[in-house]
Structure 1
Amino acid sequence: MMRLKYPAEERRESDRNRSQLGTTSAAQTLPVQTQIVSNWDGNEGFTSFPSSAYQNRWDYTSQKALRGGGGGRDAMAESLPLESLGLRGISCISLTILDGSPASHRVLKSVAYHTGPHLQSLCLSGGSPTEAPFVALILGCPALRILDLSGCNSLFTSSMLLAQPETAQRVQQALSGLCEFNLASLQDLADLSFNRLSSCAPSLERLSLAYCHLTFEQGPARGSIGPQDSSPSQLSFHNRLRFVKERAGRLCALDLSGTGLPPEALQALGQVAGLQLQEMSLHSCQDLSTEAVAALCYQQPGLTSLDLSGCSELSDGVLLAVS
């Protein structure tokens, strides 16, 4: 049975969410060192990181260190809690206030050293890391399965991330087991940067490009697309379509919320040979038509979760299409 999130359901779901505030899920009571969270709620990406006393301690200490600025005591403050996390085998870390400062560089270096070998889930959402320490961190985390770079625009401003083939090859080795990639809200993400990153994650199953600025050309389903069509300044739909065609055998979840996806583009995605989507989020894609969504449901019968909240132009015919 498909789980459909539809405009008419938004208010009821919002009420349910408010009623659940302050409760603790069963998953949150698991030992943190063994807890790998991989919940894709279809809103702003795939990964939801666990809340725990250890992570709260780390977040607090890292913020204090970043604001304190560089002394020896700050370096010890950065290292000690991370060493404790490493000893406990923590596999899920969220760092959300990093920038290009020396203190941030030390934090990333400490994360790689103390927790990198067994780290499986890493969130840098909304931070402003620079390329060199970011690459060094990734190289120190060979077991990563989930990576959240949503809002990390600083990595993509220059379009030079992973431009060196030898660096890209090493990153590919480190990310060979990556399954989930959150690239939401990256205004500077372009075809070239996306191609370099995605080529480093051959095992990718779940991808979020929510709220990225996709460009759409006439005939999104055109068949002949070569590397020369990759733009250094734009994130084009035809390049994303090529990626989906190349990864159709593995890709099972896709988030294109807030990208302005038109009906013909959705139809082109749905009819990709070999693609068997299980989850798709199209939140706030207001140009979609009821016919296009119905076609998607027909083309992708394995869909179990479809988020159409915020798609105000859809009619109740969508409910018939998924029933």
Structure 2
Amino acid sequence: MIQMRELRKDFTVRVKAGRFRRKKRTVAAVDGVSLTIEPGEMVGYIGPNGAGKSTTLKMLTGVLTPSSGEVSVCGLTPVPQRTRLALRIGVVFGQRSQLWWDLPLGESFRLLRHIYRVPAADHEARLRRCRSLLDMDEFLDTPVRQLSLGQRMRGELTAALLHGPEVLFLDEPTIGLDVVSKQAVRSFLAELGATGDVTLVLTTHDLADIERLCERLVVIDHGRVVHDGTIEALHARYSSRRSLVVDLERPLPEGFELPGATLVAVTAERHRATFALESTGAGAAVAGLVAAVPVRDLSLVEPDIEDVVAKLYRTTDAP
């Protein structure tokens, strides 16, 4: 569905070269990215600010012309075949709108049907589904300018899907949303992705979006891909482990050892102990602990994806 081979985008910038002089310098925003994304995949495409995420999306959607390399989306070359490509992709940018500011939301949807020349029956079926899943009925007649940010984002998602795209590009779709709106958007995208009808490429700084939605994670830094695989593979790469946190009836015995786990912290309050679990799993560790000492409460804590990604960024920034 999407193929990139040694994709590159250079920009020319002016930098100081003395008190009154400036000189030109070429900066590679995207530096030789090669990726293949299959139909129906849900891919998280992340990186720090300035890593090249948005530049990549703009080349994939035909907004920017690559400096070199090859790119194909839906079997089309984005820039020369941009009009044909627009009928087969959907795009949502968190800080830009494709809705008409002064029109009611429902009127924007009707205008988009005519722009994309969507048959009335298909348009109505897709709109009905989006209205149901995103709970939009109560504000369809409200002008877009009067919608809350969460309501507008639900409208943006619907607008991007009404023509039945094969690929959906999402750039920061939950930026600035409250907890309830984020949950609504994530649930909708998860259900959309579960059908396998749409290939989804998501860029975001909110890693909870990635954990909830994407099986594959691509990390880009300084214009280059530094990780391409599952979130679990990234955790394994940096040896991040789940934690077992237990509240005990009495302190742990001196020198206590738990098979399959390493004691990393003990606090006097509530006789709490934290163990880092080995990759073999939590079952044996929990069983061994319960058999050895009286346990009041316990919980399993998943490794923090933000900490792992931060380690990855620091590694790629190192000289």
Q: Report the TM-score, using the length of structure 2 for normalisation.
A: 0.31
Instruction: From the two aligned structures, give the one with the greater helix fraction.
Output: 1
Q: Report the TM-score, using the length of structure 1 for normalisation.
A: 0.31
Pick the structure with greater CA Rg.
Answer: 2
